[in-house]
Amino acid sequence: MSTERPVVIVGAGPAGIRAAETLVRHGLKPVVVDEAPRSGGQIYRQPPAHFQRNKQTLYGRDAARAAALHDTMAGLLPHIQYHSDTLAWNAEGGQLDLLHQLQPQQRLTATQPYTQLILSTGATDRVLPFPGWTLPGVFTLGGAQVALKYQGCAIGHRVVFIGSGPLLYLVAYQYAKAGASVVAVLDTAALADQVAALPGLMAAPGLLARGMYYVAWLRAHGVPLHGGIQPLQVLGDDRVSAVRWRDDRGEHALACDALGLGHALRPETQLPDILGCRFEFDALQRAWLPVRDSAGRSSVPGVYLAGDGAGILGAPAAEWAGERAALALLADTGHRLTPADTARVAHLERRLARAQRFRRGLERAFPFPTAWAAQASDELLVCRCESLTAGELRATARATGTTEINRLKALTRVGMGRCQGRMCAVAATEILAQCTGQPLPAVGRLRGQAPVKPIPFAAARPLAPEPPP
């Protein structure tokens, strides 16, 4: 790995690619580090190179945008250092610690110094568990989407999608469009929520029209859509066989062999946390997010944040944010911006402000089910890595007077498993706030720690020095 200190971009999704394009256009040669084998991020994930499916089949109405992003990255490759299959698992002292996945059984650690850092780390599913959620056949919405885009297969023969948020309908549409049998879409949000949100959603009429199209298409093709539901239980012995749920008409059950589960998305914020970026509680997204200005500057000089890794705004806004962060970096490092650049900055900030208004509308349309923690039984498994139930978390908090999530982590190991809290942190903090009677911000957040994802012991060993000649 080079000992020079270039600008480094973490993530090659919409934000990372547009950031790299902007820097290259101004004469820089950034290093782009991406955990995926091919660029595009989750939303425009590319299948393996030998996999033959056209972009229209893979991305539907987003095919043109996906193709443009992939083509941009292909054109950038001679002008950047691109490290795919590479996890940035720590950051300190002006350098990143990396894990390269060279071949299935060959991994190599290395360090990458940087002068400035653009973090475009994306998002992951926000999961609220309910009984039976660990049965084989239950996937997150993002996981179901990966199976379809990357492997060209469905997660089951008869699939139910349950939870809330626009991704719920998008993935259901993608599955039905691909020929899978979608048994139903079960949404915890009610139709009244979506009607009330229409004024805010009009901030982005094109995105609103697209969402309405997905819903109309599903209805026209006979997919039952139910709103205002409460998930009750996933049924099955060795895998999913049915799902139980309740609405204002009573309890219901649907036979299925797979379930896609998710309540919108949550940003991946571990690297900003390790770097010491200041966080604030965002009531809209019900999460602690790294603070950034309108240009993407974090509280740490030289660290910029872009895309869903700093706050969920969607793929188009991630592209704008990546470009805006790169222009801010250029201005901060003494590069001369042209009048066209200055006009572009104003244009990008207007677009991002509209995206924020649309995001507020989405939150009104698909509100977080705030009653979830009170409804979660003591027997509900919350942390699957450490086999911790809601009752164990509540009992520990009450017995010890614990009111802060990191203290609860130290006492119970919640969030210490393989997922590093990605799947359980939201649920655990909601449980702690509910059982202690505190507002959610008061219980804090699980602090990020290195490694941000598990790394093998063999890869963590320092490389042996070469023998003398």
CATH topology (fold) of 127-263: FAD/NAD(P)-binding domain (3.50.50)
Can you tell me which residue has the tokens 């950038």? 76
Domains 8-124+266-337 and 372-443 share a fold: no
Can you tell me which residue has the tokens 């054109």? 75
Run means of pLDDT, 10 residues per run, the chain, 469 residues: 77 97 97 94 85 76 89 97 94 92 70 96 95 97 91 93 96 92 97 92 92 95 97 96 97 98 95 97 94 97 96 94 98 95 97 95 95 97 96 98 97 93 95 97 94 79 48
SS3 assignment, position 134? coil
Q: How far apart are CA 227 and CA 157, in angstroms?
A: 23
The whole model's pTM is what?
A: 0.93
Quote the radius of gyration of the chain (alpha carbons, Å). 22
Q: Which secondary structure element, helix H or strand E, spans residue 390, and what is its range?
A: helix 390-400
CATH topology (fold) of 372-443: Arc Repressor Mutant, subunit A (1.10.10)
Query: How confident is the model at residue 1, as a pLDDT?
Result: 43
Can you tell me which residue has the tokens 């309908």? 169
Backbone angles phi, psi at 323, to 5 degrees: -65, -40
Domain ranges in the chain? 8-124+266-337, 127-263, 372-443
Contact between 134 and 381 (Cβ < 8 Å): yes
SS3 assignment, position 144? helix
Q: What angle do CA 378, 382, 387 make, to 5 degrees?
A: 95
Other C-beta atoms within 10 Å of 131: how many?
Answer: 17
CATH superfamily of 8-124+266-337: FAD/NAD(P)-binding domain (3.50.50.60)
Query: How confident is the model at residue 460, as a pLDDT?
Result: 58
